């Protein structure tokens, strides 16, 4: 692959994927197509100006814009999405536009341009919650919140495109991802940056024992890369971190990493419809040679250190649009 379009590359995982591609493949050219919503941030791709990287501002819900960015590319990898569950509960119009209509536009443009591969980055949340055991790719989607429903909708549109038109779709479903450059609305960076500032962390009451499976961001990037290059068309691949932890265990780990005690926990009203546990089986992707490399303790400690050492990155964010969201989410509920 010589030229790939990455949509949503100024967000958390998309920007890590671009860094991974430029480092791993010396010949590759990456076009980063991003709308720059509140979650998109050009600071995330500062290191990427290598002559093999181009940025285009645009919306995947705009068919003409995404099609012209895709002209001449070998593959497209779609990260562009509205991604935060709590925001989708406040209102999901943008989620449907980007996560469903946007995906449809990418499929249509790929059909027209005969793009060789379309990799859709999706999520383990489409399966819904599971008390015991782990979901396999053959299990049916049963999303339980507006965000995951919109992601499942995008997947179904793309898979139908594959069946009907032969559009070369491959889908990945990743688990909860963590690491540098994650927007501080998500639990890890929110809690770490609050603790650095000596503020309490808003742990959802009733969700203390809910479980998430944590995946290091560069392991997620390499999993997507494996599916992109070796995955079979029309297939889905789970990308699991293999680090299932209860929220209370994660919280204690972050408290200790930031030198704070239990008095820094503030129990707040739970997320409506809060999914209890996500768990996926990644043996299908492992069968293609992928394996996650990051140890959980080391990954969390590197993440805490990164936020401690990169206040320039998150202070700007936390003093902007974020403040109004935070007030609505945690104080007006």
Q: 45 and 33 in contact (C-beta within 8 Å)?
A: no
Residue 207 Cβ, how far from ligand NAD at the closest point, in Å? 16
How many other CB atoms are there within 10 angstroms of residue 24's CB atom?
A: 11
Q: From the list ligand NAD, ligand DAU, none, pick the one residue 32 interacts with, judged by a Cβ distance below 5 to 8 Å according to partner type.
A: none
Active site residue 147: yes
Active site residue 104: no
Residue 105 phi/psi, 5° resolution?
Answer: -60, -40
Q: Does 81 bind ligand NAD (CB under 6 A)?
A: yes
Rule CB under 6 A: choose which of 32, 83, 145, 251 binds ligand NAD: 83
How many other CB atoms are there within 10 angstroms of residue 100's CB atom?
A: 20
Residue 261 Cβ, how far from ligand NAD at the closest point, in Å? 28
CB neighbour list of residue 33: distance below 8 Å, 6 or more residues apart: 5, 6, 7, 9, 56, 58, 60, 65, 66, 69, 80
Active site residue 125: yes
Rule CB under 6 A: choose which of 12, 104, 191, 237 binds ligand NAD: 12
Looking at the Cβ atoms of 166 and 272, the one nearer to ligand DAU is 272
Rule CB under 6 A: choose which of 19, 29, 35, 161 binds ligand NAD: 35
Rule CB under 6 A: choose which of 5, 6, 10, 300 binds ligand NAD: 10
* Distance (Å, whole) CA 14 – CA 78: 8
Q: Which residue is nearest to ligand NAD (CB)?
A: 11
Residue 83 Cβ, how far from ligand DAU at the closest point, in Å? 4
SS3 per-residue string spanning the chain: CCEEEEECCCCHHHHHHHHHHHHHCCCCEEEEEECCCCCCCHHHHHHHCCCCEEEEECCCCCHHHHHHHHCCCCEEEECCCCCCHHHHHHCCHHHHHHHHHHHHHHHHHHHHHCCCEEEEEEEHHHHCCCCCCCECCCCCCCCCCHHHHHHHHHHHHHHHHHHHHCCCEEEEEECCEECCCCCCCCHHHHHHHHHHCCCCEEEECCCCCCEEECEEHHHHHHHHHHHHHHCCCCCEEEECCCCEEEHHHHHHHHHHHCCCCHHHEEEECCCCCCCCECCECCHHHHCCCCCCCCCHHHHHHHHHHHHHHCHHHHHHHHCCHHHHHHHHHHCCC
Which is the catalytic residue, given 125, 219, 244, 275?
125
Rule CB under 6 A: choose which of 39, 76, 282, 285 binds ligand NAD: 39
What is the contact surface with ligand DAU in residues (CB under 6 A)?
83-85, 123-125, 175-176, 186-187, 190, 202-204, 207, 210, 212, 247, 271, 278
Residue 332 Cβ, how far from ligand NAD at the closest point, in Å? 23
Which is the catalytic residue, given 124, 155, 225, 275?
124
Looking at the Cβ atoms of 64 and 273, the one nearer to ligand DAU is 273
Q: Which stretch binds ligand NAD (CB under 6 A): 77-85, 255-263, 269-277, 323-331?
A: 77-85
* Positions 166 through 195 that interact with ligand NAD (CB under 6 A): 174, 176-177, 183
* Positions 101 through 160 that interact with ligand NAD (CB under 6 A): 102, 121, 123, 151
Give the contact letters, 193-232, x = binds to ligand NAD (CB under 6 A), - = no.
Answer: ----------------------------------------
Residues that bind ligand NAD (rule: CB under 6 A) add up to a total of: 30
User: Footprint of ligand NAD on this chain (CB under 6 A)?
Assistant: 7-8, 10-14, 34-37, 39-40, 59-61, 79-83, 98, 102, 121, 123, 151, 174, 176-177, 183
Residue numbers annotated as active site: 124-125, 147
């Amino acid at each position: 692959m010589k030229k790939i379009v990455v949509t949503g590359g100024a967000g958390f995982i998309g920007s890590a994927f671009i860094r991974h591609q430029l480092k791993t493949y010396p010949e590759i050219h990456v076009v980063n197509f991003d709308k720059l919503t509140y979650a998109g941030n050009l600071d995330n791709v500062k290191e990427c100006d290598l002559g093999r990287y181009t940025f285009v501002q645009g919306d995947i819900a705009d068919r003409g814009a995404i099609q012209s960015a895709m002209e001449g590319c070998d593959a497209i990898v779609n990260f562009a999405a509205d991604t935060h569950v709590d925001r989708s509960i406040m209102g999901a119009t943008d989620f449907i536009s980007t996560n469903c209509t946007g995906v449809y536009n990418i499929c249509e443009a790929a059909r027209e341009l005969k793009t060789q591969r379309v990799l859709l980055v999706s999520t383990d949340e489409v399966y819904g919650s599971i008390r015991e055991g782990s979901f396999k790719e053959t299990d049916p989607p049963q999303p339980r919140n507006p965000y995951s429903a919109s992601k499942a909708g995008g997947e179904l549109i793309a898979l139908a495109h594959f069946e009907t038109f032969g559009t070369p779709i491959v889908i990945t479903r990743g688990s909860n991802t963590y690491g540098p450059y994650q927007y501080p609305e998500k639990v890890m960076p929110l809690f770490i940056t609050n603790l650095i500032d000596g503020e309490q962390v808003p742990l959802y009451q009733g969700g203390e024992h809910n479980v998430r499976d944590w995946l290091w961001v560069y392991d997620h990037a390499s999993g997507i890369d494996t599916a992109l290059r070796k995955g079979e068309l029309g297939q889905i691949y789970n990308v699991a971190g293999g680090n299932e932890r209860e929220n209370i265990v994660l919280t204690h780990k972050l408290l200790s990493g930031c030198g704070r005690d239990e008095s820094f926990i503030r129990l707040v009203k739970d997320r409506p419809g809060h999914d209890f546990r996500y768990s996926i089986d990644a043996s299908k992707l492992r069968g293609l040679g992928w394996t996650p490399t990051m140890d959980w303790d080391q990954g969390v400690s590197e993440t805490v250190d990164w936020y401690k050492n990169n206040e320039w990155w998150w202070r700007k964010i936390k003093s902007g649009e974020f403040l109004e969201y935070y007030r609505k989410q945690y104080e007006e509920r």
